[in-house]
Every structure is written in C-alpha cells, then in structure tokens.
Chains A and B, each alone.
Chain A
Amino acid sequence: MSEQSTLTYARVNDDVIRMLDKPTFKWWALFIPTLIFVGFGLFCFIHQVYSGLGVAGYRHPIFWGVYITDFVFWVGIAHSGTLISAILFLFRANFRMSIYRIAEGMTVFAVLTAGLFPIIHLGRPWNFYWLFPYPNQRELWVNFKSPLLWDVFAVSTYLTVSALFFFIGMIPDIAAIRDRVTEVPRKIVYSILSLGWKGSNWEWLHYSRAYLFFAAFATPLVLSVHSVVSWDFAMSNLPGWHTTIFAPYFVAGAIFSGLGMVITLTVPIRKIFHLEDYITLDNYDGMAKLIILTSGIVGYAYAIEFFMAWYSGSPAEWGQFYYRATGEYALFYWIMVVCNVLIPLPLWFKSIRRNIKILFIVSIFINIGMWFERFNIIVLSLSHGFDPAAWGIYKPSWVELGITVGSFAWFFMFFLIFLKTLPSVSIAEMKELLPVPRKEAKT
C-alpha cells in the first residue's frame, strides 16, 4: 500500500482523533437542518397519528406505499455496512479496513431509521407492542407464521447484533480517544465506553475471537434479514410479489444500494477530513467492482421477472409486468432500470472506477434507482392485482414525503453526531495495515 507509506501509528491516532475536534461552522450548518427536518418529520407523524393514516396517500388497493418503500430502502442501505465489516472481514479483504467503520455506522443508523417505518405505517401505532410476544392477561400470543413477525425478529436481532458489532469493534479505538482527550466530561464518557480497555494480550486474545464470531454471526444474519424483508412480499400471492427469486434479488439489491450509499457518504468525508491516505482509490476500486457484480445480479433479476411472468402463462402475472413497463408508473420503472443497470455499466472501465467524481455521481443515481426499485415492487404490484375491478393509482401525500425527508435527516443527524463523537476510521485495524515497527528488518 504505497499511499500509506507516510503514515505512522501516531499519525493514525492524530488524524482520526482530530476528526473529533470541536464542530466547525460547516458541521453545524449541516447538523441544524437535519434537526429541522427531523422535527418536520415528527410533526408529520404526529399529524398522521392524530388524524388517521388517511392523511397519507394510501388508498384501496395500495395499502403499502412510501413508508414500506423507505423501510426496505433503509434496511437495504444497512446491508452493505455489515457486508463490508463482516463478510469482507471473513474473506480478509484488506480494502475494507479504512471504510468499515463508516459503513458500520451507516448500518446501525440505517437500521435505526428503517425500524421506525413499520411503526409509522401502522394504522394504530400506539398498539405497536402487540407485535412483540409478551405475556399478557389476554393470554394471546403473536402469529409466528406472519412474515411481519419474522421482520420484527429479524430487524430487532439485526439492530442488536450490528450495534454490538459496531460497538465492540470500536472499544480499542475509544480507549485510544480516552487516552487523548483531556476535558473531563468527555474523558468520563469515553472511559465508560472503553470499558477500561488497555490493549493487553489477554484482552486482544478474547477480543479477536469474539470479533470473529460476531463477524461469523453477522454474515448469515445479514443475508437472512433481507431475505426476510423480501419474504414480506414473496410470501404473499400477489402477482409481482409472489416469486422465488426475491431473497437473493433483494440481498443483491441491498448490497448494491448499500455500496452506493457508502460511496455517497465517504467521498465527502474523505475530502473534508483529508482522509485520502486512509480511504484510497484502491478501496473505491474494490467497491466499484462489487457494484458491477451486484448491478449485474439486479439487472438479471429484472429480466428474469419478465421472463417468468411471460412463461407462467398467468394473465395476472404477465399483466403486472406489462403494466410496470408500460402503465401509469412506467417512468418510475425506467428510472429504476436506467439507474441500476445502465448507469453502473461504465464502471467496467478501470479508469472510471478510480475517478472519484464519476463514482460519486453514479452512487447517487444508484441510491435513487434503488429507492424506485422498492417503490415499483411495492406500489405497482399492489395497484395492479388479480381483480381489475380493484385497480388503483397511488400518489404519496406531503405527509409521506415529509416523513421520508425526515427519515433522511434522522439518518444524517445520527451520522453527523457519529462523525464528531466516535472514530470514523478504525485506529487499531489501520495499524494492522501499516508495517510493524521493528528495530531490525525482519528476514
């Protein structure tokens, strides 16, 4: 790793911990708007709870819309964080080291965002706890056969495990910060968070083992979570939802969108905090290659859906897909195809993969395309079901858009706080990449 040759252990600490300096005006300029939008989203939600779900654009037969789109979108975003931190960890892909902390943070905050939507979209959100199996005087339990309950378990497990994984990976780094900071309140907080980490060989021994197991758990978990999310749809009988390829299709799509989001997030961070030495072009090259792969899978899924719809001979199936490409929502469908399949194509060229600007633009299109993919799957399938008498068109209302914007703000709010409070680059693991200091060159 030639670019990193100028790095020393001490500089890693310096650079990473410097990111936690007092927030600048620029940071506030970003942070305050997020608070405002979160507030607006909250207002929309309260309005919705008070007036009824009717203030959203929902209508018969489109009972799920933007909220569930947002849910799937954010769960999808979450996925590449775990992919980068856990799966690539298991594969010992070194290009993950510099970005995995950001990616993991993204995971946690995205799940945190995603987890709101199942509650937001409920008709009676004040009863959301009925979805959890808890002993009650009614002697009633929950329906474990419902994919929504699988969701409850999958998402809450995912949130717990990814948050723990995020936190455990950070313990040594928090210790490093603890050792640096001098102001008393921060020192106390970091001291508590570091759990008294000292970096002894005994600690490292168990730590490495535990971390490995976490990675080993997180990998099947991440695959299961998006499979479960896909089963919310695939387990139903609705044309356009009821297909067997949904699990791998959704997982690939999730990784695809997550990588897009990682690039969207890291490019500005890299620039602002001058992390060029850490997040290198090689890193981006590696991610871009993964994007090509997942974009290919997603594109294949789009095509095979059409083929299967035609091959099934079912008028409802074929009607659904014909409708997607030609109906009222055709624009959305083609936005999805262009953003997710066509725009990533130039990444086959190495020079483009290493061009940060182009990569950044592509990543934004991927984010847009993947949002529309979820919208298309959810809304278009619902609007064109079995019975033509019950077909309908859905338009999101300002409340839904407000909550969606609020959810982005909510995510970025956490992310901005994260940037200023926790190490965005793994200090300990970066050091593993650096040449080990030896008095005598090792033979």
Chain B
Amino acid sequence: MSEDKKGGIKRRDFLKIIGVAGGTAAVASSCSEPVEQIIPYVIPPEGIIPGVPNWYASTCRECPAGCGILVKNREGRAIKIEGNSKSPINNGASCARGQAALQGLYNPDRIKSPLSKNDAGKLQPLGWEEAEKTLTEKIEQLRGNGKTGNIVFLSNHISGTLGKLVGEWMDALGGKHIEYETFAHEPLKEANRISFGIDKIPTYHIDKTEYLLSFGADFIETWLSPVEYTKQFSKMHSYKDKTIGKFVHVEPRASLTASSADQWVSIKPGTEGILALGIANAIVQSGQSPSGGGGLRGLLSQYSSGKVSEITGVPEQTITQIANEFSSMQPSLAIGGGVSVTSTNATETLVAINILNYVAGNIGDTVDFGDTLTISNANSFQDITSLASSMENGEVDILFLYDVNPVFTLPKQLNFKESLGKVPFVVSFSSFIDETSELANIILPDNTPIESWGDYSPRESVHALIQPVMSPVFNTKGTGDVILSVSGQVEELNGRFTQTTFYDYLQDSWKEIWTGASGVGDFDAFWTESLENGGYYKDAASKQVSISSGVSRVKFSEPEFAGDGDFYFMAYPSYRYYDGRGANKPWLQELPEALSTGVWGSWVEVHPDTAKKLNVEMGDFLSLESPEGVIETQVYVYQGIRPDTLSVMIGQGHTSYGRYAKDRGVNPIDILPLSTDALSGGFAWLSTKVKASKVQKHEQFVQTQYTTTQHDRNIAQAVALTELQKGLHHEEHHEPDFYPPREYDRYRWGMAIDLQKCVGCGACVTACYAENNIAFVGKDMVAKRRDMAWIRIERYFEESNNDAGFETRFLPMMCQQCGNAPCEPVCPVFATYHNPEGLNGMVYNRCVGTRYCANNCTYKVRKFNWFEYKWPEPLNWQLNPDVTVRSMGVMEKCSFCVQRISHAKDLAKDDGRDVGDGEFKVACEQACPAEAIVFGNLEDHESKASKLSHDDRGYKVLAEVNTEPGITYLKKVTQDKA
C-alpha cells in the first residue's frame, strides 16, 4: 500500500490476472475434480503474496458520513471491508451499508462499459475513446454556439478533490456545480444560523453526555454519522460504574433509534419544537437553568406544560419528568433534525431544541461548532428546484449527473424526469442504470470508490483518502480521469489542467493539505502516512458560541400538512438503503429490518388500533392516497407507531436500478408534496396526510421472526438499574451432572454480548455474510424461512409499564458453541463435534444432511443448504477463499470465524507464543458499532471476554437446558419509570 505512487493504478492492473493457486480454493466441495488451471502472474505485483491478504485503508462512500475503512485484498480481489480504527469518525466500526459496499463493487447489474443512446433510444456500449470524443464534441459544439453557461454538473456531496476538480472544470466551462444530497439537513444548518449565527452542522459529543434527548434524530440509522454516534451512544448508554446514561427519544414512531431508548415519547407529528420549548420552560420555571433562561424567559413562559401537552399529546408529567432529568443529569444533550420528522416547521423545531440546550447549559460542551460537517456546504433544495425549472425552460444544454438519482429521490411534483427530457444532452457517470441514468444520452460509468483514487472530507478535521484496492472489475473509468481527459481534448480548455490523471491532480491537491498541516518535511512521507492511516486527521479546536437574540423573533408554529386524510404520513430513511442507493445489494435486501424483521420489500407500519379500524391484518395491502398520488403497500402491524400516523420507509420502489431493486416495494417519495420547511427552504419530508383504504390483496408478510414476545422463555433478559445497584445475588448452584465437566488446555473460545449495548442495527449480520460466504436466497426462500444468516437479531416487544406500554429488546443469536452441545451427539457421522478449543466444529464435507443436529439445537441457529446457492458473476469474486463455500445438502452455522482463529494461531505459532487477548476480532465483533460483542479466550482469565462472562449481568440463554453455552449475554438494564 505504501511504496510506489505513480504506478499505483498500473501496478494493480496486473492484479486482474488472478486465480493464483488458492484463489480456486473457494470452489464448492464437489467430488469430481475438473481440470484446474493455475495462472501465474506475468509480473508479480510487489508486496503481494498469493494466499496472504493485504489490507488497504480507504474511505466508505455509502453515505455522507465518510467512515474510514480497511479493505482486505486477496490475490487482487477486495473481499472484505472493515472499519478503520484510525479513523476518528468510526473508530474501527462499520455499518451494514458499509459492509455491503462490496456488493456495489461486484454488482452483476453494474454498467460494464460506456453506453450511449442510439437513435432508437436504446443504450448501446461503446469504447472510452469514442465516448470521450462524443462528449468533447458536445462541449465544443456548445461553446461554438456561445452557450457556455448552460452546463450543470449535478453531483452528490463530493467534498474532496473531485469536488474541487468539478468546480474548476465548471468554472472553466462557465457551468455550474450543484451538490445534491437527498438528506441534506438544511433546517439544522438554518436553525444554527438563527440560533448561533453559524450556518453549519456541528458535531455532537453524545459520549460525553449523561442524558440524551433526541427529537427524532435517528442517529443509529441515518442521521449525520450513524456509526460514529452509535459508538458514542453505546459508551454513554452502557452500564459501567453502577450507572448508565439515560436516553429519551421523541418521535411519532418508535424507530430503530427509539428502540434503544430508555423512554420513547410518542408525539404528535411536527410538534417536537413545542415540546422542546415546554421542557425548556419547565427547566427555567423550576430554576434549574444555569443561565436562568436569559432573555428567553418571556418566550418560554408561553409554553406551559398544560398547553404543550395539549398541542403535542405528551402527558404533562412526562414533560416535567424530562425537564427535571434534563437539567439534573448533566451534561445533557438535546438533538433533532431526523429526516422523518422534518416538517414545514423543521427549522423552528431545531431552534427550539437549541434553546433547550442553551437553557440547560449544553452549548459548547456537547455540541461542537469547532468541527462542522461539510455536508453543510451542499446546495439547498431551492437550488435543486430552480435547476429543475431551468431545465424545464430549456436553459440547460448539458447536464452531468454524478452519483445522484434525483428522479427517484425527488418528489414527483418537481417533474424532474420530464425536465430531464428537455435537456438536450445528459451525461451520467452512474455505475448503474437507475431511474435517472436510464434517461441519459451517454453513460460514462465511474469506478466505485474501491477501484479509484480520491478523497473525501466529511468534516473540517478529516481529510480521508480513497485508494484503489483493486483494478476495475469492468471497463469503467474514474470520473476525475474522464474530466481531465476530456479537458485535454477540448481545445479551449487545453492547458487549463496540467495534470493528465486524477491521481496527479489528487496529489497536487493534497500538497495543499500538507502545507496546511505542517508543510515541513517530505510530502511523500506525508502522503504515505496518510495512505496508511486512511487520511489526514486534524485536531479541531472547540469553538464557543452563544445564543443569538434572533431566536426570540422566531415564530414557533405548528406544522402544515397537505391533504385532508386521516393519517399523518411519515416517509423515513432506511438504515439499510439510505435514500435508495442500497436497494440493489442483496445483503441489504436480505438483512431483516430490525423492528419488523421484514426483508426484500416495503410496508406501511400501522398501529394495531388503526389496523382494527381499517380492518386490515399483517400482510393485507393498504392504499395510501395523498394529494400527490397513491401507493399500495403491505401492512405491518406495529405498536410502535401512533394510531394517527402511517409510515413507509424510503429506499424501495425502484423501477430500474438492477435485478435486486427493480419492482420491489414502493417509493413513499412518490406521494410526498413539494412542501418545504418555511425557514430553511429544505424539503419537508413530513408534510402530508393520507387517506388509507384496504385493498383486496393479501400476501405473506415475509419476515424472519414471526413472534414478537418471548412467551415466558426469558431469552432476552433485562434487569432494573436499581436492582443492579443493590447488587445481584448470584446463585451458583451446580446441578449434579452425569458426566464430569469438560476441561480445556489453552483456549476456550467464548463471547460476551452486552444487550444493553446492542442497538439491533444488523452490521454484525452483514459482516458475517461477507466474511463467511453466506448465501443470500431471495424473498421467496426467506418466506419459507430459508435464509442462511448465521446471526439473527431477535427482537422482542416486552410489555412494560412505561408510557409506550412496551419495551424493545434485541438479542443477536448465533451458534452458542455449547460445551454440552445437543447437536453433537446426534450426528451419526461426527460432522459436528466439540473441538479441543471449545468450538462446536462443523465439518461441511463430512455432513450427509440428516439435519438431526438442527432439530436438536436448542437455539435453532443451524442453517441448511436446501439448494446449491449461486452467486451471479461477479458477486462470487467477493467470496472469502479462507472459508468453504457450502454445497447443497449440508448444514452450516456460526463457526466463531474459525478461519480467523486459525490465522491468529498460525501467526502466534511463528513466534512460538499463544494467541493474546484482542489480537484478532471475529467479523461480527469487528463490525459492531456499539461494541456489544466481545470475543476472546475464556481460559485466559485476564481476557475481556472472560471477565465479562463473569459479570453480574451475565447469563446464558436457556441455561436450564444445560447446554453450557460459550456465549454469555449481559442483561439489558432498564431504568425505572421516574
């Protein structure tokens, strides 16, 4: 990764020649041995040893958060993505979307070469030279006509060097660069401008708080930087020193984030701001505000608890309780601005939240304007609407589209699709034929971030590098290179750019960063170090801000809703598909949505009472009609939503984009009106009411878990905080056993999973798919419960005496690696057995498929290969050569990543020592942003896992069956109702 710079891309070109002995190791275990070939390198790439993985640091571009990643390369193929622990953003963790980036890279529906639309309107492949020539001609033609200004480059938020290049290019061409992010969080920016005079989105320090109050900020799912905030939240919310931080979530719907809250406050849509003011008022009234409310007393006094309660539907006592806690459990923090609660008064709401933070004295402590997010610099929604209208008016002659899908993500009322038709020449750099790029005249497919050079700066303090981990899978070309190449061909631009490759441009750009950083020493050393670290990370000084008097001029209004339906309609961003870009990745489609455990589709969440009223059941179809249109989707009956609200996730309902996404579910954006937030002009996602009526259609609601309660089985356990503080009496009673207990020599691999930390995000599940070559099976098979996931996140809704009436518990369930495993003795052929290191071994090639082990598995974690599962080319390139690809008719299950254990032991053996604690991580543990999973050697009594397994909260699932599991779960901690 370090050495030669110039030859970077060249060097990896040779990696194309793959399949060195061992690359073939991932072939299914068949009996017949076809003639295999070994293809050696022509020129061996330096630093690559076949059979030994190389790790390259890069940056994830699946959402604007910009997490640092390490990509594992084996024989020239990227096979696994892990979080980069050096990145200050995600600190080694990742999310399901990040893990699934590989399926974007190897997606069978990727555009394989440049395409251009022929006269019949069909896209036809052509060569790069020809494609670039076409583009050059178009530009020159335009310049010849003197219409230089009519060029627009519409991209997503590209804050790094590519953004700079595009900007310069557009400048040179007299065009415009517009950055469009679906979820741009404009109200947040505007509210901060009003409140503090800073037009930016700050960073938050959730980990430093004792009390977190979120007004619809879904920070575990999509809000700003989910991995980072999940990690911080986990720190704040975990049980340590006999206490935990408290988290209260206010939202009309119990989202995944709300499910991890100690208290979910169901609120009338759009009235969060009023509640925030009510709480602030209660704090000020009770004299708990350090600033005493300052000049805001007058404003706040209008929001008495009674009135607020009436408007918001939140009980008065809850308001006072939150006010008390918010001011007493310091430091506290209120956050807001989740997409799904962005209504026409979103900025006002966020100003109110800022007031609340100010009143409680939080600004500067837990809200940090010293390091702001660059997404603040994305263009406003107004820019997009005016772009649409200028397109409509024929004022755009060439439109470049880079990594955006506005036809899908913009409301239909904007007529973007039709406007696009009026642009004479549309150039797309998309990797997929999606709703937008299928309308393009020419497609110049970009490399994915895993194949290209680049950088990205998610916030001021972070300059993250993107480096090619492998040579392009298809005949694609980095957009930066295309721009430079075309610029070289356009006569007038000749000499505008001195660089001929984007790599050179990037390095030149980084020389500036180097200058800004220190500017001393050797740039090459700086570059190498940055590559190794995944980027250059600055320390950001915190910045003091004070509340501006402008806040008192804000009118705190109630939101406006289009339509006269009975139900508020929430379109919420999906943590699996984000704004829809994840929908063509089978791992994400097959990852069960944590709350419904639904897969491969979309649905509308309906409260049980509402369902009764509408006379619908799970799996029935409901037609939702807003003034803008109608969608029909399946019903999921969910008690975590207000009876007056219906919600559908964003991300499905593609009409194009690839085999896994196409014609699957519905796109709720289709029925959203073109409403904007009054103050910021940002798009208002929560702004319509819908009429709901039953449709005569029923389909099985495809889930992975059909029960919602534990039926007294005590699987996901919890303990009250007060009880825990008193000290638990550990009953250590040993039942006499027929056989003596098992003894281990050096290793007994085990795991501890903290249910207090687990947020149910599913990163572990997807990481497990990636690491262990787990097949995805599709909706029809999941409908038959034939998903192959080795980890399932069990979710239970426990009855509770809290306001919501229920409490959500998540429990990652995988093979428990039992000491007295029930699966082992029943196998007639020893295909599963207990290994001397405490692993429950599964020998695929010995398995004859009696499936007795699965029947006898107490935890039902074994999965059977009902068919021979195939990965469509080139998805199979991702397969881990260290793990057998299971063939038809054999059992499989979590192996505790035995290949990683084996690898670690191999390395330890080289040094003649034992494997130490924390020397390696299993895939799920590595991915977990909440650090809920800890793997280690239980024989080593100093190991973290060993200590945790003797924790007070520790318990074994279904211990009464006496299976002696190797996994200890730590009980979730519940807070008593105040």
Given contacts A54-B866, A123-B851, A315-B713, contact A390 B860 (CB under 8 A): yes
B958 at the A/B interface (Cβ < 8 Å)? yes
| B827 lies within 8 A of A146 (CB) | yes
**Distance from B738 Cβ to chain A, minimum over Cβ atoms (Å):** 13
Given contacts A142-B830, A389-B707, contact A52 B859 (CB under 8 A): no
| A148 lies within 8 A of B828 (CB) | yes
A161 at the A/B interface (Cβ < 8 Å)? no
Complex contacts, A121 vs chain B, CB 8 Å: 850-851
A130 at the A/B interface (Cβ < 8 Å)? yes
Given contacts A54-B866, A54-B867, A60-B860, contact A123 B849 (CB under 8 A): yes
| A148 lies within 8 A of B852 (CB) | yes
Within 8 A of A (CB), among B856-904: 856, 858-860, 863-868, 888-891
Q: Quick one: closest A residue to B823, CB to CB?
A: A236
Roughly how many angstroms separate A364 CA and B849 CA in the complex, as a whole number? Answer: 34
Given contacts A64-B855, A236-B826, contact A128 B707 (CB under 8 A): no
Roughly how many angstroms separate A232 CA and B825 CA in the complex, as a whole number? Answer: 12
Q: Quick one: closest A residue to B866, CB to CB?
A: A54
A440 at the A/B interface (Cβ < 8 Å)? no
Complex contacts, B848 vs chain A, CB 8 Å: 122-124, 127-128, 130-131
B822 at the A/B interface (Cβ < 8 Å)? yes
Complex contacts, B958 vs chain A, CB 8 Å: 386-387
Q: Chain B: interface secondary structure?
A: loop
Roughly how many angstroms separate A217 CA and B846 CA in the complex, as a whole number? Answer: 35
Given contacts A54-B867, A124-B847, A237-B856, contact A146 B785 (CB under 8 A): no
A293 at the A/B interface (Cβ < 8 Å)? no
**Distance from A106 Cβ to chain B, minimum over Cβ atoms (Å):** 27
Complex contacts, B890 vs chain A, CB 8 Å: 123-124
Q: Chain A: interface secondary structure?
A: loop
A388 CB contact (under 8 Å) in B709, B822, B863, B866? B709
| B829 lies within 8 A of A235 (CB) | no
B813 CB contact (under 8 Å) in A53, A59, A389? A389
B792 at the A/B interface (Cβ < 8 Å)? yes
B911 at the A/B interface (Cβ < 8 Å)? no
A382 at the A/B interface (Cβ < 8 Å)? yes
Q: Quick one: closest A residue to B787, CB to CB?
A: A60
A169 at the A/B interface (Cβ < 8 Å)? no
**Binary interface encoding of chain B residues 18-42 relative to chain A, with 1 for a CB under 8 A from any of its CBs, else 0:** 0000000000000000000000000
Roughly how many angstroms separate A316 CA and B858 CA in the complex, as a whole number? Answer: 11
A391 at the A/B interface (Cβ < 8 Å)? yes
Roughly how many angstroms separate A388 CA and B826 CA in the complex, as a whole number? Answer: 23
| B867 lies within 8 A of A51 (CB) | yes
A319 at the A/B interface (Cβ < 8 Å)? yes
A61 CB contact (under 8 Å) in B709, B813, B860? B860
Given contacts A63-B854, A122-B850, A130-B846, contact A145 B859 (CB under 8 A): no
| A145 lies within 8 A of B854 (CB) | no
| B847 lies within 8 A of A236 (CB) | no
A238 at the A/B interface (Cβ < 8 Å)? yes
Complex contacts, B713 vs chain A, CB 8 Å: 315-316, 386-388
A58 at the A/B interface (Cβ < 8 Å)? yes
| B794 lies within 8 A of A387 (CB) | yes
| A237 lies within 8 A of B961 (CB) | yes
| A386 lies within 8 A of B828 (CB) | no
Q: Quick one: closest A residue to B792, CB to CB?
A: A389
Within 8 A of B (CB), among A141-186: 141-143, 145-149, 152
Complex contacts, B785 vs chain A, CB 8 Å: 59-61, 392
B835 at the A/B interface (Cβ < 8 Å)? no
| A52 lies within 8 A of B846 (CB) | no
A115 at the A/B interface (Cβ < 8 Å)? no
| B828 lies within 8 A of A152 (CB) | yes
Roughly how many angstroms separate A389 CA and B705 CA in the complex, as a whole number? Answer: 5
**Distance from A215 Cβ to chain B, minimum over Cβ atoms (Å):** 31
Given contacts A64-B855, A236-B855, A386-B958, contact A52 B868 (CB under 8 A): yes
B715 CB contact (under 8 Å) in A51, A382, A389? A389
**Binary interface encoding of chain A residues 233-245 relative to chain B, with 1 for a CB under 8 A from any of its CBs, else 0:** 0011110000000
Complex contacts, B240 vs chain A, CB 8 Å: none
Complex contacts, A52 vs chain B, CB 8 Å: 865-868, 888-889
Q: Quick one: closest A residue to B711, CB to CB?
A: A388
**Binary interface encoding of chain B residues 686-726 relative to chain A, with 1 for a CB under 8 A from any of its CBs, else 0:** 00000000000000000001110111110100000000000
Complex contacts, A147 vs chain B, CB 8 Å: 826, 852
**Binary interface encoding of chain B residues 731-762 relative to chain A, with 1 for a CB under 8 A from any of its CBs, else 0:** 00000000000000000000000000000000
8 smallest CB-CB distances across A and B, nearest first, come from: A123-B849, A54-B866, A123-B889, A390-B860, A63-B851, A124-B889, A52-B867, A389-B794
29 contacts between A and B (CB under 8 A): A52-B868, A52-B888, A53-B888, A54-B786, A58-B851, A60-B860, A61-B854, A118-B850, A123-B889, A123-B891, A124-B848, A124-B849, A125-B849, A140-B846, A145-B825, A146-B826, A147-B852, A148-B827, A149-B828, A236-B822, A237-B961, A314-B960, A315-B713, A388-B709, A388-B796, A389-B796, A390-B705, A390-B860, A391-B706
- Where the two chains meet, the residues of B that have a C-beta atom closer than 8 Å to any C-beta of A are 705-707, 709-713, 715, 781, 784-787, 792, 794, 796, 813, 822, 825-830, 846-852, 854-856, 858-860, 863-868, 888-891, 958, 960-961
- Where the two chains meet, the residues of A that have a C-beta atom closer than 8 Å to any C-beta of B are 51-54, 57-61, 63-64, 118, 121-125, 127-128, 130-131, 140-143, 145-149, 152, 232, 235-238, 314-316, 319, 382, 385-392
